[in-house]
Chains A and B, each alone.
Chain A
């Protein structure tokens, strides 16, 4: 298999990547029998006590665990399953991406990767932050038991946008922002998780895959098969999350979930992309629009559906869901929007609604592959991979 442009990490055995052990220098240990990498690995592994399995999927198992030195410090250990694929190609790209980016990103709204170690038979174990409160999707979907206010939405969105901004400032595209990748910590904080589809910003003329991001949250430029894109894709996904939080339903829920239906839906709800509102769009490889031309939706029409977040909120939402990625706000501009400082003030963490079912939800979430549609059992759920990240 040719190296994917989506993956700019040289594939190397996991043991070599163990630079996080506390053994600092080669000189300090006499290196008796086992080689250094194994020693360091063992040392790392012995820091944690693995507990109950809290989730299991086709791709990974998740265990709760705690530190040997401190029983109260809980962590989640995501053990990536080795399959036939691993024998042939080594570690999956998803886990490599996840390790690579999470290792470097340290932000209150991004899930923390404490360490990585391997166990016998070259299993990869990621030690992740323990997030017992479930995910945002559970809150959005539980319309009977959970109600939240515009202030809560603002608080959640602010945390999400800070995480996105932080990623972009560090030249990382998340490429899979959606409510069920937003886990909730014990204190109510939102944590962006699942960096399985992330990549760093590309150089000019470096081709990126357009077949990424869960389909309902995918921006129009990816449907038109743009191979050069930027932070705008994440902002579009954030906009979808924003709208979903308000309406408590997926904004672009195309059924059946294919690209044509999505494009149709985006045209219906936002407007048809044309050369006028998006210069150069017709040059894109996959540019197709429904025959019926729908003008860009006016602010009044948006207001009808999203009155709850007020005029500034709708203004921000419209600017996040702008068709042309160049006109779409970037993460920094989003944070500079007056919506955040306007009334109502974002809810404090302790006032945000909570929902139980947490640990299990986290377990489920962490076992998933990127790009899966989170809603119920759909046809083809059992199919190994729906998206080809290869090129």
Chain B
């Protein structure tokens, strides 16, 4: 009965979870909040047992000591004791673990190329967290955690720096925005005052002119026009100002988050030094030697050989030219060409007709640029 009365006397100062009696009593010295209202409880993240401040002082001020709770053999140090944020110590512990894990697994969404990879990563992080919280395979998980930390040391520090930078720039941005809003308000206020002053001035001016004996109607009309004009000017100026401001800090407060822009990663084809060129003669095969006086004599001539003149280049050319016209039907090719021109007017090169005709000699099937690569002889 007396308990109920107590809880009613101080309903506001108490947190709801504190209503349970054992939370109010230090397990070591058994002093309770009822007798000492200034009692503060501390916990140590080593084992999350809760002691009152005076017990912590007494037991641990001479250095590390074992936890006084029976059955808990953890060694505790005084400097690690702190006030718990949550009254539920399970929650306290979970939050601590999550903080610790998040500090190491701090990769960002931008680092991933597809959603799948990002989700896999998040899943892995959650697995580790879950295991640590619920004491599942703790040792192995710790090992995984450590190895990740070791392997990604550089990235982790990078991301920490990045996050810090973002935080500060965000704060700065907010401050700037506040400043600008204030400036806008001030400007509006000044404008209002100005407008009022001008109105009064205008009126006085009109009165003066009337007093000096000018035509009443004209004066009134003019006065109105002047007033109107000034006002329009002001509106235009304000508008300009607004546009300028919008441009200066336009997109600054938009933060775009998301996956890394996807880059096409095609596996590179093996290098073909010839770039697709091929000069296999379709109708002729070049022999090493030809029994013809011209060829034989030039082969024998020291002067010709020493200069690097290659007789094979000559015989090759002669053969090529002899056979270049075979299988070429100019009429067909012109049809082809016309059709192609209709087809891909846009990407077709404005190659000269001469070149085109020559180019299509080799094989009329190839198209566009490819056509030229099979050219056998342009001459």
- The answer to whether A binds B is yes
Q: Are B271 and A280 in contact (CB under 8 A)?
A: no
Q: Note all chain A residues with C-beta closer than 8 A to B317.
A: 171, 201
Distance (Å) between the CB of B291 and the closest chain A CB? 15
Across the interface, do B358 and A19 meet the contact criterion of CB distance under 8 Å?
no
Q: State A326–B306 Cα separation when bound (angstroms).
A: 7
Name A226's contact: one of B271, B298, B307, B375 (CB within 8 Å): B307
User: At the interface, yes or no: A49 with Cβ under 8 Å from chain B?
Assistant: no
Find out whether the CB atom of B354 lies under 8 angstroms from the CB atom of A281.
Answer: no
Asked if A113 and B352 make an inter-chain contact with CB atoms under 8 angstroms apart, the answer reads yes
A230–B309 touching, CB < 8 Å = yes
Instruction: Say whether A354 faces chain B, with CB atoms less than 8 Å apart.
Output: no
User: Does B379 reach chain A (CB closer than 8 Å)?
Assistant: yes
Q: With A106-B372, A325-B307 given, is the CB distance from A336 to B354 under 8 Å? A: no
Please state if A161 and B273 are interface contacts (CB–CB under 8 Å).
yes
CA distance A105 to B301 in the complex (A): 32
Any B CB within 8 A of the CB of A170: yes
Contacts of A293 in B (CB 8 A): none
Would you call B43 an interface residue if the criterion is a C-beta within 8 Å of the partner chain's C-beta atoms? no
Q: Which of B305, B306, B369 has the most CB of A within 10 A?
A: B306
Contact mask for chain B residues 343-379; partner A; CB cutoff 8 A; 1 contact, 0 none:
0000001111111001100000000010011010111
Q: Is the interface of A mostly helix, strand, loop or mixed?
A: loop
Contact B298 A205 (CB under 8 A): yes
Q: How far is the CB of A6 from chain B (nearest CB, A)?
A: 15
Q: Which residues of B contact A200 (CB under 8 A)?
A: 379
Interface-side segment among A242-250, A339-347, A376-384: A339-347
Q: Which residues of B contact A284 (CB under 8 A)?
A: 303, 306-307
Nearest A residue to B377 via CB reads A170
By a CB distance below 8 angstroms, the chain B residues around A106 are 349, 351, 355, 359, 369, 372, 375
Given contact pairs A166-B277, A283-B302, A104 touches B378 in the complex (Cβ within 8 A): yes
**B314 and A204 form a contact (CB under 8 A):** yes
Establish whether residues B307 and A335, one from each chain, have CB atoms under 8 Å apart when the complex forms.
no
B309 adjacent to A228 (CB under 8 Å): yes
Interchain CB contact under 8 A, B277 and A221: no
For the side of the interface on A, what is the size category? 35 or more
Q: Is A21 an interface residue (CB 8 A)?
A: yes
> Which residue of B has the minimal Cβ distance to A281?
B306
Q: Decide yes or no whether B246 CB sits under 8 A from chain A.
A: no
When chains A and B are docked, how far (Å) is the Cα of A325 from the Cα of B261? 52
Contact among A107, A170, A231 with B310 in the assembled complex (CB-CB below 8 Å): A231
Cβ < 8 Å to B, chain A residues 198-224? 200-205, 219, 221
Interface centre among A113, A116, A166, A202 (most CB of B within 10 A): A166
Taken together as a complex, chains A and B put the C-alpha atoms of A115 and B298 apart, in Å, by 39
Is there an interface contact between B306 and A204, defined as CB atoms closer than 8 Å? no
A328: Cβ under 8 A from any B Cβ = yes
Within 8 A of B (CB), among A224-268: 226-233
Interchain CA distance A336-B334 in the complex, whole Å: 36
A204-B298 in contact given A158-B273, A171-B379 (Cβ < 8 Å): yes
Within 8 A of B (CB), among A346-364: 346
User: Which of B275, B305, B308, B310 is most buried by chain A, counting CB atoms within 10 A of its CB?
Assistant: B308
Chain A residues positioned under 8 Å from B34 (CB to CB): none
Asked if A107 and B306 sit within 8 Å, CB to CB, the answer is: no
- Asked whether A19 lies within 8 Å of B307 as measured between CB atoms, the reply is no
Q: In the complex, which residues of chain B have a beta carbon less than 8 angstroms from the beta carbon of A19?
A: 352-354
Most buried by B among A24, A161, A170: A170
How many Å lie between the Cα of A363 and that of B314 in the bound state?
37
Q: Measured between alpha carbons, how far is A284 from B301 in the docked complex, in Å?
A: 11
**B369 partner residues in chain A, CB cutoff 8 A:** 106, 108
In the complex, the answer to whether A204 meets B304 with C-beta atoms within 8 Å is yes
User: Which residues of A lie under 8 Å from residue B358 when comparing CB positions?
Assistant: 104
Query: Is B273 in contact with A21, judged by CB distance below 8 angstroms?
Result: no
Chain B residues with Cβ under 8 A from A195's Cβ? none
A313 to chain B, nearest CB (A): 14
CB interface residues, A 149-164, toward B, < 8 Å? 158, 161-162
Q: Does A368 contact B (CB under 8 A)?
A: no
Please determine whether A228 and B352 come into contact, CB atoms closer than 8 angstroms.
Answer: no
Q: How far is the CB of A310 from chain B (nearest CB, A)?
A: 15
**Which residue from B268, B274, B303, B354 sits with its C-beta under 8 Å from A227?**
B303
Check if A104 sits within 8 Å of B303, measured CB to CB: no
Instruction: Tell me if A112 and B351 are in contact (CB < 8 A).
Output: yes
State how many angstroms separate the Cβ of B234 from the closest Cβ of chain A: 44
Whether, in the assembled complex, A103 has its beta carbon less than 8 Å from a beta carbon of chain B, the answer is yes
| CB–CB A328/B271 < 8 A | no
Q: Say yes or no: B378 contacts A170, CB within 8 Å.
A: yes
In the complex, chain B residues whose CB is within 8 Å of the CB of A116: 352
Q: A204 to B312: give the CA distance in the assembly, Å.
A: 10
- Distance in angstroms from B322 CB to nearest chain A CB is 13
CB distance from B180 to the nearest CB of A (A): 38
B-contacting residues, A273-312, CB 8 Å: 278-281, 283-284
Question: Which partner residue on chain B sits nearest A113 by CB separation?
Answer: B352
* Cβ-defined partner of B277 (8 Å) among A113, A169, A278: A169
Known contacts A106-B359, A233-B308, A341-B270; is-contact A280 B302 (Cβ 8 Å): yes
B304 touches A205 (CB 8 A): yes
| A27 at interface, CB cutoff 8 A | no
Nearest B residue to A348 by beta-carbon distance?
A: B268
A/B interface sample: 14 pairs, CB < 8 A: A67-B350, A104-B379, A105-B378, A112-B349, A165-B274, A171-B317, A204-B298, A205-B304, A227-B307, A228-B308, A228-B309, A230-B309, A280-B303, A284-B307
User: What 7 A-B pairs are tightest by C-beta distance, nearest first?
Assistant: A325-B308, A226-B307, A280-B306, A204-B298, A20-B352, A104-B378, A228-B309
Chain A interface residues (CB < 8 Å from chain B)? 19-22, 24, 67, 103-108, 112-116, 158, 161-162, 165-166, 168-171, 200-205, 219, 221, 226-233, 278-281, 283-284, 324-326, 328, 330, 335-337, 340-341, 345-346
Additional 15 contacts, C-beta under 8 A, given A21-B353, A107-B372: A20-B355, A22-B353, A103-B354, A104-B354, A108-B369, A112-B349, A113-B352, A204-B304, A228-B298, A228-B301, A228-B304, A229-B307, A230-B309, A279-B306, A280-B303
